[in-house]
C-alpha cells in the first residue's frame, strides 16, 4: 500500500525528528485539518529512517512513492527532498520507475545533489490547482537580506558599500524609472529599471557583470549570498501532458525552477505530449532566475506548439511559449544540448527566452532560437546550429557568434519591439548563414527596425563595431532579380534624406570590417537598401 508522508516542509522536519528520537508530533492547536489528516498517515518507521541515514542517500520509494506511472507520487517526492535537505543527503530516483505527478499545488524543494537517473516523470497539466507552481525548485539554504545603507548607484561603479558575508548576487530596482517600453502588437508601459550583478566579500563588482544603469534612487535591493559548492541535478526523462486551456497569456510554470547559484543540470530530457489546436503558453520547463553560474549540459528539450491570441494592441499575435526561460541570471551556459522537434519547423515556438541577463552562452547546441527580450549584457554562441527563429537580441557589451550555422531570417535580428538596440560590438567568426525566405530576394545579415519616434526608455544604438571574419552565405537558390545580401536591413524607410527628423535618435554603426565573406550566389555583399541611412558607416573589406 502506498504511504503518504508530507505536506508542509516543516511537518516533514518535525516528523523526522519525532521518529528518530521518539517524540510525539503535536496534532492539535497549530495544525490545520488538512495537515492533521496527513500527519496521521504512516511514514517511514524509525528503523527505516535509520537505514536511510546509514546508506547515506534518499530514494523516493523510501517515502512511499510507487513509481507505476499511475499513482500520484508528488507528496512522497516532496517529502523525500525535505528529509534529504534536513540531513544533507543526496536523492536518487528509483531505477526505471515512472512517477506520475498530477495537478496538486506542491513543489519539491531541492537543496542537495539529485540523480533522477533512468526514471521517468509524467507531469500532467490537464487539471492543475496552480499553474504558477513549479514541480521542482532548486533553492539555496542561504538567506537573502536587504541592506538599508545603499540608496544609489552609478553605471560601471566598481564597488558598493555593503557589509557582506562573502560573494553575493545583488539585485537592485528603481521603480521611478521605466525601461523597455515595448512597441508593437504586445506594447506596454515598460518595466521598472532593474539590474543584477555579482560582488565579492569586499563589495567589489565583478567586471564581467557590470552595473549598466544609473540608479539615482534604489527603491528595492536584495542581496543573496552565492553558494560556493556546486549542486548537481542529473538524468531523468520528463514528459509534460500539455494543458488544454484557452489560448491566452496565462503562462504555465510546471517544471524545474533553478534559484540557486552554482548548479549543474546534466543529461535531463524533457518531452511534450497532448498539444492540440489550443492551449496556454509555457514559461519554461527549465526556468533559471535570480542566480549565477548555472550550466545545463547534455540535455534534450522540446519546443512548444505555437498558439495565437489577441495582443495588448488589439491585434492577433503568436504567443511565445518556452522550454527554457532565464531571468535576472548571470553566467548561464547551455552546453551540448538539443531539442526533440525540428529546429526549422515554424509550427513550434523558439525554445528559449530571457530577460535582464549577463553572459549567456550556447556551446555545441542545436536549438531553434536564442533570444534576449529585455536585454543581455554579453552573449556567446559557438559551435552551434540555430533554426527558424535564429538569433534575436537587444542589449550591450560583446555579442560573439563563432563556428556556428544560423538558419534564421537574418544572421542576427535586433528586436524592433525594444528599439533594435545593441550598445557594444558584434563579432562573427567562421559561420554559415542559411537565410530563410530567400525566395523573396531580401537577405540581410543584421535585421531590425527603429522609426526614431518611440521612446523605449533609453537611447537606442546599433552595434558600434561589427567584425565579420569568415562567413559563408548560402544564397545560391535565389530569384532572378536578386541583388545580393546586405549587411543591414532597411531599419527606417522614412530616413531617406536630411529632412527626416528622429524624435528619439537611433545611433548608427560606426565601422564594419569584412574578412573572407563569401556568397554562394556570387553576388557582392551590399551595405543596405537604405544607402542614405548607412552612408557614414566605414566598411573595410578584406579577401583573407
Give the tens place of pLDDT for each residue, 439-481: 888 999 999 999 999 999 999 999 999 999 999 999 998 898 8
pLDDT at 14 over 70: no
CB atoms within 10 A of CB 31: 17
48 assigned to some structural domain = yes
pLDDT band at 163 (very low <50, low <70, confident <90, very high): confident
pLDDT at residue 2, as a whole number:
56
CB-CB contact of 351 with 385 (8 Å): no
pLDDT at 169 over 80: yes
pLDDT at 17 over 50: no
Q: How far apart are the first and last CA of the chain?
A: 72
pLDDT at 412 over 80: yes
44 assigned to some structural domain = yes
356 assigned to some structural domain = no
277 assigned to some structural domain = no
pLDDT at 12 over 90: no
Q: Which of 6-10, 159-163, 223-227, 258-262 has the lowest mean pLDDT?
A: 6-10
**Burial grade of 503 (CB within 10 A; 0-12, 13-18, 19 or more):** exposed
pLDDT at residue 38, as a whole number:
34
Give the tens place of pLDDT for each residue, 76-120: 999 999 999 999 999 999 999 999 999 999 999 999 999 999 999
Question: Mean of the pLDDT values across residues 408-421?
Answer: 97
* Residue 88 domain boundaries: 9-95
Number of domains in the chain: 1
pLDDT at residue 33, as a whole number:
34
60 assigned to some structural domain = yes
Question: Mean of the pLDDT values across residues 224-253?
Answer: 97
CA 538, CA 56: separation in Å to the nearest integer? Answer: 65
pLDDT at residue 15, as a whole number:
38
pLDDT at residue 337, as a whole number:
98
3-class state of residue 393 by DSSP? strand
CA 162, CA 150: separation in Å to the nearest integer? Answer: 7
pLDDT at 373 over 60: yes
89 assigned to some structural domain = yes
Average pLDDT, the chain: 92
CB-CB contact of 80 with 56 (8 Å): no
90 assigned to some structural domain = yes
At residue 412's C-alpha, the angle toward residues 267 and 416, to 5°, is 110
pLDDT at 5 over 80: no
What DSSP character marks residue 535? T
Give the tens place of pLDDT for each residue, 50-83: 999 999 999 999 999 999 999 999 999 999 999 9
pLDDT band at 40 (very low <50, low <70, confident <90, very high): very low
274 assigned to some structural domain = no
**Across-strand partners of 461?**
507
pLDDT at residue 30, as a whole number:
31
pLDDT at residue 43, as a whole number:
65
CA 409, CA 379: separation in Å to the nearest integer? Answer: 20
pLDDT band at 44 (very low <50, low <70, confident <90, very high): confident
Nearest Cα to 332, choosing from 299, 357, 352?
357
* C-alpha cell belonging to residue 6: 508530507
pLDDT at 37 over 50: no
Question: Mean of the pLDDT values across residues 492-504?
Answer: 95
* Alpha-carbon dihedral angle through residues 302, 303, 304, 309, given to the nearest 10 degrees: 170
Amino acid at each position: 500500500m502506498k504511504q503518504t508522508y508530507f505536506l508542509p516542509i516543516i511537518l516533514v522536519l518535525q516528523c523526522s525528528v519525532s521518529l528518530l528520537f521518539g517524540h510525539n508530533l503535536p496534532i492539535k492547536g497549530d495544525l490545520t485539518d488538512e495537515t492533521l489528516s496527513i500527519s496521521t498517515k504512516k511514514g517511514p518507521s524509525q528503523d527505516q529512517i535509520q537505514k536511510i541515514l546509514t546508506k547515506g542517500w534518499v530514494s523516493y520509494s523510501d517515502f512511499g512513492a510507487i513509481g507505476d506511472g499511475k499513482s500520484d507520487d508528488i507528496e512522497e517526492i516532496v517529502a523525500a527532498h525535505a528529509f534529504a535537505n534536513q540531513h544533507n543527503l543526496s536523492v536518487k530516483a528509483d531505477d526505471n520507475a515512472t512517477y506520475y505527478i498530477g495537478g496538486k499545488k506542491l513543489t519539491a524543494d531541492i537543496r542537495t545533489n539529485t540523480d533522477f537517473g533512468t526514471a521517468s516523470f509524467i507531469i500532467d497539466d490537464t487539471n492543475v490547482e496552480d499553474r504558477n507552481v513549479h514541480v521542482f525548485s532548486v533553492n539555496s539554504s542561504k538567506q537573502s537580506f536587504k541592506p538599508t545603507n545603499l540608496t544609489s548607484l552609478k553605471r560601471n561603479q566598481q564597488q558598493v558599500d555593503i557589509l557582506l558575508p562573502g560573494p553575493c548576487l545583488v539585485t537592485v530596482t528603481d521603480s521611478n524609472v521605466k525601461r523597455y517600453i515595448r512597441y508593437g502588437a504586445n506594447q506596454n508601459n515598460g518595466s521598472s529599471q532593474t539590474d543584477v550583478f555579482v560582488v565579492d566579500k569586499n563589495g567589489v563588482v565583478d567586471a564581467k557583470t557590470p552595473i549598466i544603469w544609473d540608479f539615482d534612487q534604489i527603491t528595492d535591493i536584495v542581496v543573496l549570498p552565492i553558494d560556493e559548492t556546486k549542486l548537481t541535478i542529473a538524468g531523468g526523462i520528463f514528459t509534460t501532458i500539455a494543458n488544454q486551456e484557452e489560448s491566452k497569456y496565462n503562462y504555465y510554470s510546471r517544471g524545474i525552477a533553478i534559484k540557486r547559484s552554482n548548479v549543474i543540470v546534466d543529461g535531463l530530457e524533457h518531452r511534450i505530449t497532448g498539444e492540440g489546436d489550443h492551449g496556454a503558453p509555457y514559461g519554461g520547463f527549465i526556468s533559471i532566475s535570480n542566480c549565477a553560474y548555472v550550466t545545463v549540459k547534455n540535455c534534450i528539450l522540446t519546443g512548444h506548439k505555437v498558439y495565437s491570441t489577441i495582443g495588448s494592441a488589439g491585434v492577433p499575435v503568436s504567443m511565445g511559449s518556452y522550454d527554457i526561460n532565464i531571468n535576472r541570471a548571470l553566467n548561464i551556459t547551455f552546453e551540448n544540448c538539443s531539442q526533440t522537434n525540428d529546429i526549422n519547423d515554424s509550427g513550434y515556438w523558439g525554445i528559449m527566452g530571457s530577460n535582464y541577463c549577463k553572459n549567456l552562452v550556447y556551446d555545441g547546441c542545436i536549438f531553434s532560437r536564442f533570444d534576449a527580450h529585455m536585454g543581455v549584457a554579453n552573449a556567446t554562441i559557438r559551435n552551434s546550429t540555430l533554426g527558424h527563429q535564429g538569433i534575436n537580441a537587444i542589449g550591450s557589451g560583446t555579442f560573439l557568434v563563432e563556428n556556428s550555422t544560423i538558419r534564421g531570417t537574418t544572421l542576427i535580428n535586433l528586436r524592433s519591439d525594444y528599439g533594435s538596440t545593441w550598445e557594444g560590438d558584434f563579432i562573427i567568426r567562421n559561420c554559415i548563414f542559411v537565410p530563410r525566405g530567400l525566395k523573396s530576394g531580401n537577405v540581410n545579415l543584421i535585421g531590425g527596425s527603429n522609426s526614431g519616434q518611440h521612446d523605449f526608455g533609453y537611447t537606442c544604438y546599433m552595434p558600434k563595431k561589427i567584425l565579420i571574419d569568415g562567413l559563408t552565405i548560402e544564397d545560391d537558390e535565389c530569384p532572378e532579380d536578386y541583388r545580393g545580401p546586405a549587411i543591414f536591413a532597411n531599419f527606417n524607410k522614412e530616413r531617406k534624406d536630411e529632412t527626416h527628423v528622429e524624435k528619439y535618435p537611433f545611433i548608427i554603426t560606426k565601422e564594419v570590417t569584412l574578412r573572407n565573406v563569401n556568397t554562394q550566389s556570387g553576388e557582392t555583399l551590399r551595405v543596405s537598401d537604405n544607402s542614405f541611412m548607412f552612408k557614414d558607416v566605414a566598411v573595410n573589406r578584406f579577401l583573407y
